[in-house]
Structure 1
Amino acid sequence: MDDYRKGMIEYTGRFLRESGFSLSACDLDGLSSFDLIARRENESYVIKVLYNVDPFRIENAIEISRIGKMLGSAVLLIGERAGNGFLEDGIVYFRHSIPIMSTETFHNYVNGEKPLVYAGPGGYYVSLDGKKMQEARSRSRLSIGNVSMSIGTSRRSISLYESGNSATLEVFQKLTRILKEDISRRIDISEYTNTKEDEPEKPEDEFLFDIYTNMIKIGLDMNLIRKAPFNALARDNIKESLFLMGLFEDLAMNRERILAIKNISDLMEKFPLLVSRQDTTKETVGGCSVITAKKLSEISDHDEFLRVVSRTRIHS
């Protein structure tokens, strides 16, 4: 990790702590698709920090989006540059559908100042509150035709704006002058967390494939994670709980990752679970429940799985 990016992560972490967030950092030599997870009551973020956001690839976006979705957290990328220029403060950018903010914009966002403008193809845009716009136009006793003529656009465009379509920044400024009211809808990055039900990735590795198959058989939804302290997230839809899973050949060789799994689980109030390929008599390691791959393969149903995991949790 280069020193400047490390400084950005430390600065962001310090700001979040001072703002009342609890934090779990993920300094695992580039292993992770995210750098920080932060939580303040019901507000939480999964954050990646890059000085230049250009290297952020679609694979990174898919993974951090999947993590955010399963944790119930907003995801974002904090950066300073894109291409040859700096990111402008007060503007939200997007890369592979992930919101991007400058450090200053994120600080303001956390402090309650949500951005108005986002960058899109061809320029800057503002999301409009169609209901507010329609009500403001009615109060001003203006018809759709009056407004369209005043700003030099079609009646259909005005109708679309009143249906909630975004407008260019220039058009928004004209509408505001005419209607004399705030008709914007501020940007809430939690709305941009990927909600698509993507097909879970099936592992090629035999060890991981066996665990994946057994978890599905037991009745849990499982998503593999390539670049995080945890290898998988498993959702129990019956109990509405989530397991952060470490799937390891050797527990002793993964102490740092196990500690990170425990820290993130505690922060987000989820359940840490380690699956060991090697036989072990340990029921917990680092505060995480342990089950061997062999034992997992012998479990036949959902209730038995919960009994086994609950028993190891009691002994932690």
Structure 2
Amino acid sequence: MSQDRQLQLVTSVMITAGFDVSERFTIRPRSFDLIARNNGTLLVIKVVSHIDSVSEEGAFDLELISRHLGGVPLIVGERAREAELERGAVYVRYGIYAISPATLYDYFVEKIPPLVYASPGGLYVNIDGEVLRDLREKRNMSLGDLGQVLGVSRRTISKYEGGMGTTLDVAIRIEEFFNTGVVESIDLIRHEPPKAMEGEQKEVPIRSPMEYLEQLGMQLHTLHGAPFQALLMFEKHTILTGYGPAQKVVKRAALIGNLSKIAKKHAMCVITDYHKQKMIGRTLVIGEERLHRIENGFELLDLLGD
């Protein structure tokens, strides 16, 4: 669909939903394409073919403009990478919600909120933790009991009850087991600025992996002359940890894993020039960027296989 056609479609959807919509403008570069307002709700909308075309700088400007206007930023697009955006799914681009025109129509015209959000690895949903806890307690089930039913750890169940999201297939198993809904819908107009957008600074200093792990509440002991550079302690668990570029550290991963097996400890290598995660034997190899998305020590223990 052409840019002009897509803009016309988005404008039509917002007018049908009862919004007053601004005139289109052709000034380039532009951080947004339309402003729409209805009943106190103001949307600052960027319309694109590929949501990946929205740069970090562009997202920052869209966020900043929205904040100062008292509005909500929203990206409407057709594709992400090589795939079309799923209807009823919410994507995130640098902390800003991104949806398809069909999802826009469903939410604002049909009043059907999306339930699913897309993230690396698949589709996810938000669990209503209080509802899940009530359902579990009414059946006199412990965290471990429900974990066994769903094939996850008791710690993971605790996180679900605390509001952590889960994969679509786990949510379906929960709802089938209890025969009731536990998934929370996504409110597109309740936008909280991402941490990187708070204040007027665009650049936020990134802590080193070791500093970040300490921020997660782990005790850190650096070492010299050992196959691993650090020992991490958290909740009575010890993690043998290597750190550095892939060329230097990956060669050590198998050795660190072997040492951890003998010592009955965990093993991890943090790679500064790698962006994902994988297992090499017993060793979790995790990129620095992926590490910085971990929210607490328990999440890291889950990745380690605890």
Q: Distance in 1 between matches of 2:183 and 2:67?
A: 26
Alpha-carbon distance, 1:126 to partner: 0.6
Any conservation in 2 of the 1:45–1:74 contact (CA below 8 Å)? yes
Q: Distance in 2 between matches of 1:73 and 1:178?
A: 40
Q: Which residue of 2 aligns with 1:199?
A: 200
Q: Which residue of 2 aligns with 1:176?
A: 175
Deviates more, 1:150-159 or 1:84-93: 84-93
Any conservation in 2 of the 1:5–1:51 contact (CA below 8 Å)? yes
Identify unmatched segments of 5+ residues in structure 1. Answer: 202-316
For residue 189 of structure 1, give the secondary structure of its aligned residue in structure 2. Answer: coil
For residue 190 of structure 2, give the secondary structure of its aligned residue in structure 1. Answer: helix
Alpha-carbon distance, 1:139 to partner: 2.8
Alpha-carbon distance, 1:183 to partner: 1.2
Any conservation in 1 of the 2:95–2:194 contact (CA below 8 Å)? no
Q: Distance in 1 between matches of 2:187 and 2:66?
A: 15
Q: 1:184 to 1:61 in 2, by over 3 A?
A: same
Selected match of 1:51 from 31, 49, 52: 49
Q: Does 1:167 align with 2:163?
A: no
Q: Distance in 1 between matches of 2:29 and 2:5?
A: 18
Q: Where do residues 117-266 of structure 1 align in structure 2 (5 Å cutoff)?
A: 117-194=116-193, 196=195, 197-199=198-200
Per-residue CA distance 1:74-127 (angstroms, 9 max, x = gap)? 211111112222111111111111111011011111132111111112111111
Alpha-carbon distance, 1:18 to partner: 1.8
Any conservation in 2 of the 1:75–1:193 contact (CA below 8 Å)? no
Q: Distance in 1 between matches of 2:136 and 2:50?
A: 42
Q: Does 1:17 align with 2:15?
A: yes
Q: Distance in 2 between matches of 1:168 and 1:46?
A: 30
Any conservation in 1 of the 2:126–2:185 contact (CA below 8 Å)? yes
Selected match of 2:27 from 26, 29, 48: 29
Q: Where do residues 107-126 of structure 1 align in structure 2 (5 Å cutoff)?
A: 107-110=105-108, 111-126=110-125
Paired amino acid for 1:198 = G
Alpha-carbon distance, 1:141 to partner: 3.4
Any conservation in 2 of the 1:68–1:193 contact (CA below 8 Å)? no
Alpha-carbon distance, 1:64 to partner: 0.5
Any conservation in 2 of the 1:45–1:75 contact (CA below 8 Å)? yes
Q: Distance in 2 between matches of 1:20 and 1:190?
A: 15
Per-residue CA distance 1:224-244 (angstroms, 9 max, x = gap)? xxxxxxxxxxxxxxxxxxxxx
Any conservation in 2 of the 1:77–1:99 contact (CA below 8 Å)? yes
Q: Does 1:88 align with 2:89?
A: no
Q: Which residue of 2 aligns with 1:70?
A: 68
Any conservation in 2 of the 1:125–1:166 contact (CA below 8 Å)? yes
Q: Which residue of 1 aligns with 2:264?
A: none
| TM-score, with length taken from structure 2 | 0.61
Aligned residues: 199
Alpha-carbon distance, 1:54 to partner: 2.0
Alpha-carbon distance, 1:200 to partner: 5.6
Identify unmatched segments of 5+ residues in structure 2. Answer: 203-306
Any conservation in 2 of the 1:118–1:126 contact (CA below 8 Å)? yes
Percent same amino acid at aligned positions? 34
Per-residue CA distance 1:204-252 (angstroms, 9 max, x = gap)? xxxxxxxxxxxxxxxxxxxxxxxxxxxxxxxxxxxxxxxxxxxxxxxxx
Which is bigger in relative contact order (C-alpha 8 A, separation at least 6)? 1
Q: Distance in 2 between matches of 1:8 and 1:24?
A: 15
Q: Which 4+ runs in 1 deviate beyond 4 A?
A: none
Q: Distance in 2 between matches of 1:60 and 1:193?
A: 17
Any conservation in 2 of the 1:66–1:194 contact (CA below 8 Å)? no
Any conservation in 2 of the 1:92–1:100 contact (CA below 8 Å)? yes
C-alpha RMSD over aligned residues: 1.7
